[in-house]
Chain A
Amino acid sequence: MRRIRKTGKQETFIRIVLFICVPAFLIFFSGSLRAAPVFIGSKKFTESYVLGEIAKRSLIDAGISVEHRQGMGGTIILWEALRSGQIDVYPEYTGTITQEILKRTDQLNFEQIASELGKVGIGVTEPLGFNNTYALVMSRSRAEKLGLRTVSDLRNHPELKFGLTHEFLDRQDGWRPLAQDYQLNPRSVIGIDHALGYAALTNGSIDVKDAYSTDAKISENDLVVLEDDHHFFPQYKAVLLFRYALPAPTITVLRKLEGTIDEAKMVRLNAEAERTKNYTRAAGLYFEPATTSTRLRQGYGAASNATSTTWTAGENFSHKLARWTLRHLELAGSSLLLSVLVGIPLGIWASRGGATGHVILGFAGVVQTIPSLALLALLVPLPFFGISVRTAIAALFLYGLLPIVRNTATGLQDIPRALRESAVALGLSSTARLWQIHLPMASRSILGGIKTSAVINVGTATLAALIGAGGLGEPILSGLNLNDHATILQGAIPAAVLALLVQSLFDLLDRVLIPKGLRL
């Protein structure tokens, strides 16, 4: 009887391990099993999201399977993802291509840009129509009253108060050379926060400010853009970058977007996106009034289910929350599993002391000191990783390692010498000593380490959204970009609740897994 109970216990342990292992590996590999759709990437700001959605919808309407990875990061992350084939398409700006991607200090014309990109197998559409560059804006009423239309017109009104962002004041292509070029000499120039600047314009405490030419705030606050009649600002014309490897029909669909969005339209789409927080719906405005919205939405919803990611027009909040939470658990869970599988053996090894032990604990400690953002940034350029769920899991795995390794090592080292020697003197094999004596006696400490890792992982997994891996960080990031607290809380509150749940789950697990004799 006794013996049966004993083996039963071991089986339970094995079953728990399998229970965690199998789904994790399924999740891990399921990504590679799916039929490959066209992957669209976007940067983490509203306009990029909307352009990505417009491209997505165009492809879907043409019957092409597509997936949009929203807000993956900044220029370099998107460019590397495109180069390495993790994404196939993303919206970019000509000025950014010249300066950040091709690293040129001179201005290139469009043909030069296209030929430089062609050398690395990347194609570029003709400009989509609008130029999203720096601009000087004024309230419409004030500009009309004074009869101002161009930047040159400002020369005759030195009494106008300028409120400029600190970045614009400092930039090489910012305020100083602009003022020199246009020979502006206003009496008052102050530095002011971008968001506050709009409020200052509205209440009249400043008259002119800098902005991006397609900023949604331009229409929201009824502002006008003063024409850059000297062509001082570099061109930031929106284009789509794509891989030459894409099938010709796909490229043809993307090229149909060329020259179809002017500044006014983009401002309207951005305003809609920021107002509704629904990028799909904002992108839908682009297609109106060519189609009736109901028919399209149905078709869109069906196609979207087939690719199973990102926003759908009709997706309600609980649905989204479930999707974020599942992905979040997937990220935290599979990384935790890896941390356990690697951390416990390392901890056992480290507990034996000596140089190896110090190296293991030292390594795990050093990883922990790297800021999580920096760790993600370090992993992204590596061949196997890039912009993917894999990278997020790898980073979380490394983070979760130290608590488990350290607690395993100390838990084992804290076993009294008399008990270790008793196990040896009994004649138990070293394997039996480890499994039947040492690990059970260190179980409290080991589980404590796993609990710490789990809570850290659930928190840190919010950063995964930075590299497009999704999870509850997605709404937090969108909220930060849109300066919208409600959206931030949609991610932050569930993440906090999740951390608490994980904590209590492990408290329960303690009762099951720590032998009763140690809990007396």
Chain B
Amino acid sequence: MSALVQLVGVSKTFGDAAAVHAVDLSVERGKTTVLIGPSGCGKSTLLRLIIGLLGPDSGEIQFDGTQLRPDKIDIVRHRAGYVIQEGGLFPHLTARGNILLMARHLHRPENEMRARLSELRALTRFPENLLDRYPLELSGGQRQRVSLMRALMLSPELLLLDEPLGALDPLVRAALQKDLKEIFARLRQTALLVTHDLAEAAYLGDEIVLMNEGRIVQQGSLSDLRDKPTSNFVSEFINAQRSLAVL
């Protein structure tokens, strides 16, 4: 299986601090790849580079075999969904308005949109009567489900999630983790998820990519990272979170 997204030697510098340094990364089709690492390690920056919110200083990002270029970036955006920590829902639109925003912009047929919406509602277990509520009238967990529906509306090949569960309380978080895992499996979704929680990474990820100071330090399954750490940093990171890890 070829990679859907391929990063080759990608670097990005803010001021004089390197946020991402010569990163090579493959996001495999149908799998969930998890980026993990301490705050400021560059994992969110990688996501923002892939969706084109940032441009790389050097290196190359390929999407489905084509190199990303600023003038073609909207094509990638229509084939990718993006979910951020607080949901990024527009407060002046209802849940439905947020979910359908992009489909309406692209003038998708009404019946097609309606069908897709009820599919997604079932998938995310979101009650129909809440669709006409505004984001401020929804709970944090409900907002993230809406945000997920918005990202999935156009059946994207790639789903990018930047700490999507970071702001939720533990019970809601656990429920959503479970639902996410099911959704990814049902849709055979290619997903790239950023988290700083090792348990979440282990639970959701087929592949775990550990980053530190803008570089990828080790890549593999949780057991690879635990049993064959390539550096002291890897062992320290694993040990620091062991007490929390539900293994």
Task: Choose among A3, A427, A516 the residue with the greatest number of B CB atoms under 10 Å from its CB.
Answer: A427
Asked if A422 CB lies within 8 Å of chain B CBs, one says yes
What is the 8 Å Cβ interface bit string for chain B, positions 79-120, against chain A (1 contact, 0 not)? 000101110111111101000111011000010000000000
Interface residue B137 (Cβ < 8 Å from any Cβ of A):
yes
CA separation between A443 and B48, bound complex, in Å?
29
Bound Cα distance from A345 to B93, whole angstroms: 23
A37 contacts chain B at the CB level, 8 A cutoff: no
Q: How far is the CB of A21 from chain B (nearest CB, A)?
A: 25
B137: chain A residues at CB < 8 Å are 520
| A436 contacts the other chain (CB 8 A) | yes
Q: How far is the CA of A17 from the CA of B23 in the complex (A)?
A: 52
The yes or no answer to B146 lying at the interface (CB within 8 A) is no
Which of B52, B82, B134 is close to A422, meaning CB atoms less than 8 Å apart? B82
Query: Which of B53, B105, B136, B150 is close to A421, meaning CB atoms less than 8 Å apart?
Result: B53
Residue in A428, A443, A518 whose CB lies within 8 Å of B101: A428
Chain B interface residue count, CB cutoff 8 Å, equals 30
Q: Which residue of A lies closest to B94 (CB)?
A: A517
Establish whether residues A419 and B90, one from each chain, have CB atoms under 8 Å apart when the complex forms.
yes
Q: Contact mask A415-458 → B, CB, 8 Å, 1/0?
A: 00011011111111100100011001101000000000000000
Residue contact A516 to B134, C-beta cutoff 8 Å: yes
Q: Check: B37 CB closer than 8 A to any chain A CB.
A: no
Judge whether B82 and A517 touch: CB under 8 Å.
no
Majority DSSP secondary structure for residues of A touching B: helix
A6 at the interface (CB under 8 A from B): yes
List chain A residues, Cβ under 8 A from B136.
517, 520
Residues of B within 8 A of A427 (CB): 74, 77-78, 102
- Say yes or no: A422 contacts B88, CB within 8 Å: yes
Q: Is B51 an interface residue (CB 8 A)?
A: yes
**In the bound complex, how far is the Cα of B135 from the Cα of A85, in angstroms?**
62
Would you call A437 and B90 a contact (CB within 8 A)? yes
Q: In whole angstroms, what is the CA distance A86 to B88 when docked?
A: 59
* Contact indicator A517/B84 (Cβ below 8 Å): no
The reply on A2 being an interface residue by CB < 8 A is yes
| B86 cross-chain contacts in A, Cβ below 8 A | 418
Task: Assess whether A515 is interfacial by the CB under 8 Å rule.
Answer: yes
Q: What is the bound-complex CA distance between A422 and B53, given in angstroms? A: 9
- Say whether B105 contacts A422, CB under 8 Å: no
Bound: A190/B213 CA distance, A: 88
Q: Which single member of A421, A516, A517 contacts B88 (CB below 8 Å)?
A: A421
Contact A515 B92 (CB under 8 A): yes
**What A residues does B48 contact at CB under 8 A?**
421
Residues of A within 8 A of B104 (CB): 3, 6
Q: Nearest Cβ in chain A — how far from B164, in angstroms? A: 13
Q: A517-B134, A517-B135 are in contact. Are A424 and B100 (CB under 8 A)?
A: no
A421: chain B residues at CB < 8 Å are 48, 53, 84, 88
Q: A426-B101, A517-B136 are in contact. Are A441 and B92 (CB under 8 A)?
A: yes
Q: Which of B82, B91, B135 contacts A425 (CB 8 A)?
A: B82
Residues of A near B100 (CB, < 8 A) are 2
CB-defined contacts of A518 to chain B, threshold 8 Å: 91-92
CA distance A2 to B93 in the complex (A): 12
B93 x A425 contact (CB < 8 A) = no
A432 x B134 contact (CB < 8 A): no
Interface string of A1-29 (1 = CB under 8 A from B): 01100100000000000000000000000
Alpha-carbon gap, A458 to B104, bound state (A): 41
With a cutoff of 8 Å between Cβ atoms, the chain B residues found around residue A3 in the complex are: 104, 110
Q: How far is the CB of A7 from the nearest CB of chain B, in Å?
A: 10
Do residues B90 and A441 form an inter-chain contact, with CB atoms below 8 A?
yes
Given A2-B100, A3-B110, decide whether A426 and B77 contact each other with a Cβ distance below 8 A.
yes
List A contacts of B77 (CB < 8 A): 424-427
Inter-chain contacts of A432 with B (CB < 8 A)? 105
Q: Are A440 and B96 in contact (CB under 8 A)?
A: no
B129: shortest Cβ distance to chain A, in Å?
A: 15
In the complex, how many angstroms separate the beta carbon of B47 from the nearest chain A beta carbon? Answer: 9
A339 → chain B closest CB, angstroms: 24
Cβ of B216 to closest chain A Cβ, rounded Å: 23
Give the contacts of A462-520 with B (CB-CB under 8 A). Answer: 515-518, 520
> Is there contact, CB below 8 Å, between B92 and A2?
no
**Distance of A358 Cα from B90 Cα, bound (Å):** 29
Report Cα–Cα, A443/B92, bound state, in Å.
Answer: 10
Q: Determine if B101 and A436 form an interchain contact, defined as CB atoms under 8 angstroms apart.
A: yes
Contact across chains for A425 and B53 when beta carbons are under 8 A apart = yes
Residues on the B chain within 8 Å of A516, using CB? 92, 134
Q: Which of B91, B110, B150 is close to A517, meaning CB atoms less than 8 Å apart?
A: B91
Q: How far is the CB of B110 from chain A (nearest CB, A)?
A: 6
When distances are taken between beta carbons in the complex, the residues of chain A under 8 Å from B110 are 2-3
B109 to chain A, nearest CB (A): 10
Closest-CB distance, A430 to chain B (whole angstroms): 10
Complex CA distance for A516 and B88, rounded to whole angstroms:
18
Give Cα A417 to B48, complex, Å: 13
Q: How far is the CA of A2 from the CA of B109 in the complex (A)?
A: 12
B90 touches A423 (CB 8 A): yes
CA distance A161 to B104 in the complex (A): 89
- Cα A435 to Cα B104 in complex, Å, equals 14
Q: Are B92 and A520 in contact (CB under 8 A)?
A: no
Q: A428-B105, A432-B105, A517-B90 known; 12 other A-B pairs, CB under 8 Å?
A: A3-B104, A418-B86, A421-B88, A422-B84, A425-B52, A426-B101, A427-B74, A429-B74, A436-B101, A441-B91, A443-B92, A517-B91
A-binding residues in B (CB < 8 A): 48, 51-53, 74, 77-78, 82, 84-86, 88-94, 96, 100-102, 104-105, 110, 134-137, 150
Q: Which 5 residue pairs spanning A and B have beta carbons closest together?
A: A427-B77, A422-B88, A517-B134, A515-B92, A425-B82
Can you spell out 23 A-B residue pairs with CB atoms less than 8 angstroms apart? A2-B100, A418-B86, A418-B88, A421-B53, A421-B88, A422-B82, A422-B84, A422-B89, A422-B90, A424-B53, A426-B77, A426-B150, A427-B102, A429-B74, A429-B105, A432-B105, A437-B90, A441-B91, A443-B92, A515-B93, A517-B94, A517-B135, A520-B134
